[in-house]
């Protein structure tokens, strides 16, 4: 065959291959819809609209997307597509009149759309379970969905839908208590679904993702029951981690038990088993190791770490200067929204308690002290703060093993750690803790190191 002819054949074959490749690439979505996707054509279109918005590829005016979602909802009443479309509008554009109309449609759909379609719609629209607009906005809807589960308690996706409702009810760290809906969900799970393989998210919620908070304590029996009967590794891993966190929030008397639970977690979940949640198990192991180190060095009942440095204006200061007072040690920074939000509450504490008995000491994480000084002036912060970074390049926050900002330690008059919170605690809990520490100093008591259950380094 002449060389020129071979070249022509080669070019033709290459063009065919390229054409097939380009065609396959352009048709990949159609092929996926035809052979893989299990939803309706309306569900498929909604998925494309969500993808366009997420990628920034939607039209300049989002109104056309919202209008199309409304059309899909109206054309598919009582279906997964209707629920998904309304959820998307209410989630993506919560401040619009369209969102209010979509929410009203969702309330009606909660009464006649099945558990299966609701579960899949929530997976499609908000896979992480978090809903824009806050819990109060969505409360009526999830009350109806909980009732829907009651009516269809044998549905295979019922437990998963309850877990999505639990994520939606996730209380703030500083909440006084969990909403009653979360308690209702917990009771339903304990009674009907404790063996389900879909409970990991529920355990994460009631364990507050591993951060000890007082509102989680009523859920201890539910988590213990799940551990007793559930055989799924991921659920057991999540439940054990949550239980250790809940017990840790129980005060001085339960710190030894908490430490034992964390140690048992490391023994039972090695992070080496190859399964779908291996990465999360490894993350929990790392968090557990940090908690155990914190308990060892800064656990309840341990003496506060010797802390010396300079204040925001460069003057020497020491935590020991406050010996004889109950101290709230506050790790804060101007770049931390919750830290700044807590300042008015901190000022109220100083007004409520006698300055001879109580003080606030800050540790500021801003790189430039001038930024913190300006914020302190603007917000009326009368208490002194350490500069976090020390001359040697070390950090006070690292010395105290601070994992998140803000973090607070309550120290008694002897400099012993009485309480610890990550995030601003509820006002009632904080007031009671401070008052308890002050009152305990005014009457004879058992020496701290002799109290039952107290951990010392």
Would you state the pLDDT for residue 155? 94
**What's the rounded Cα separation, in Å, for the pair 204 and 163?**
10
Helix (H, G, I), strand (E, B) or coil at 312: coil
For the chain, which residues make up each domain, given as ranges? 38-127, 135-298, 308-450
Judge contact between 277 and 323, C-beta under 8 A: no
% of the chain exceeding 70 in pLDDT: 87
Residue 143 CB-density burial (10 A; 0-12 exposed, 13-18 middle, 19+ buried): middle
**Residue 38 pLDDT greater than 80, yes or no:** no
- Structural fold of domain 308-450: Glutaredoxin (3.40.30)
**Residue 27 pLDDT greater than 60, yes or no:** no
**What's the rounded Cα separation, in Å, for the pair 202 and 199?**
5
Would you state the pLDDT for residue 136? 83
Provide the pLDDT confidence category of residue 19 given band limits of 50, 70 and 90: low
Judge contact between 179 and 217, C-beta under 8 A: no
Q: What average pLDDT does the chain have?
A: 87
DSSP strand E in 232-372: where? 308-310, 316-318, 326-332, 358-364
- Give the residue with greater pLDDT, 10 vs 309: 309
Tokens of 409: 């330690």
**Residue 25 pLDDT greater than 50, yes or no:** no
Provide the pLDDT confidence category of residue 295 given band limits of 50, 70 and 90: confident
**Residue 77 pLDDT greater than 70, yes or no:** yes
**Residue 393 pLDDT greater than 50, yes or no:** yes
Q: Which of 108-117, 172-181, 388-397, 431-440 shows the lowest mean pLDDT across its residues?
A: 172-181
Would you state the pLDDT for residue 448? 39
Angle at alpha carbon of residue 305, lines to 303 and 311, rounded to 5°: 135
Would you state the pLDDT for residue 433? 93
**Residue 424 pLDDT greater than 90, yes or no:** no
For the whole model, what pTM was predicted? 0.75
Would you state the pLDDT for residue 34? 42
Would you state the pLDDT for residue 212? 81
Would you state the pLDDT for residue 457? 33
User: Which segment, 55-64, 117-126, 373-382, is predicted with the most confidence on average?
Assistant: 373-382
Q: List pLDDT tens digits, range 180-189.
A: 999 999 999 9
**Region 38-48 average pLDDT:** 84
**Residue 3 pLDDT greater than 80, yes or no:** no
**Region 426-449 average pLDDT:** 76
**Partners of residue 293 on adjacent β-strands:** none
In 3D space, the residue among 206, 207, 201 whose CA is nearest the CA of residue 184 turns out to be 206
Going by C-beta distance under 8 Å and a sequence separation of 6 or more, which residues neighbour residue 440? 412
């Amino acid at each position: 065959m002449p060389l020129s002819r071979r070249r022509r054949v080669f070019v033709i074959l290459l063009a065919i291959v390229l054409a097939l490749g380009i065609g396959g690439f352009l048709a990949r979505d159609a092929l996926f819809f035809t052979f893989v996707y299990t939803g309706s054509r309306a569900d498929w279109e909604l998925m494309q609209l969500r993808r366009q918005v997420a990628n920034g590829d939607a039209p300049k005016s989002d109104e056309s997307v919202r209008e199309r979602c409304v059309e899909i909802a109206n054309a598919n009443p009582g279906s997964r597509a209707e629920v998904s479309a309304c959820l998307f509008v209410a989630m993506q554009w919560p401040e619009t009149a369209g969102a209010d109309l979509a929410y009203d449609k969702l309330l009606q759909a909660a009464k006649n759309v099945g558990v299966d379609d609701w579960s899949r719609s929530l997976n499609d629209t908000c896979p992480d379970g978090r809903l824009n607009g806050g819990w109060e906005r969505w409360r009526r809807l999830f009350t109806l969905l909980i009732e829907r589960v009651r009516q269809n308690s044998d549905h295979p996706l019922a437990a998963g839908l309850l877990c999505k409702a639990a994520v939606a009810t996730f209380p703030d760290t500083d909440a006084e208590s969990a909403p009653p809906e979360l308690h209702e969900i917990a009771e339903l799970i304990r009674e009907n679904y404790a063996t389900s393989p879909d409970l990991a998210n529920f355990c994460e919620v009631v364990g507050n993702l591993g951060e000890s908070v007082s509102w989680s304590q009523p859920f201890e029996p539910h988590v213990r029951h799940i551990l007793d009967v559930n055989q799924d590794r991921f659920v057991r891993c999540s439940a054990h981690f949550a239980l250790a966190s809940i017990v840790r929030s129980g005060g001085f008397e339960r710190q030894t038990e908490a430490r034992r639970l964390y140690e048992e977690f490391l023994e039972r979940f090695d992070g080496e088993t190859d399964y779908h949640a291996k990465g999360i198990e490894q993350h929990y192991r790392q968090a557990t190791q940090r908690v155990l180190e914190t308990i060892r060095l800064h656990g309840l009942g341990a003496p506060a770490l010797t802390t010396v440095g300079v204040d925001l204006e460069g003057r020497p200061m020491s935590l020991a200067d406050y010996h004889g007072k109950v101290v709230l040690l506050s790790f804060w920074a101007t770049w931390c929204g919750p830290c700044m939000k807590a300042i008015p509450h901190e000022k109220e504490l100083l007004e409520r308690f006698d300055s001879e008995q109580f003080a606030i000491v800050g540790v500021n994480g801003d790189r430039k002290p001038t930024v913190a000084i300006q914020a302190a002036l603007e917000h009326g912060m009368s208490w002194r703060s350490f500069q976090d970074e020390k001359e040697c390049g070390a950090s006070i926050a690292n010395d105290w093993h601070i994992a998140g900002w803000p973090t607070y330690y309550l120290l008694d008059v002897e400099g012993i750690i009485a309480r610890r919170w990550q995030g601003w605690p509820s006002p009632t809990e904080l007031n009671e803790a401070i008052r308890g520490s002050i009152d305990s100093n005014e009457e004879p008591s058992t020496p701290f190191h002799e109290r039952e259950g107290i951990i010392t380094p």
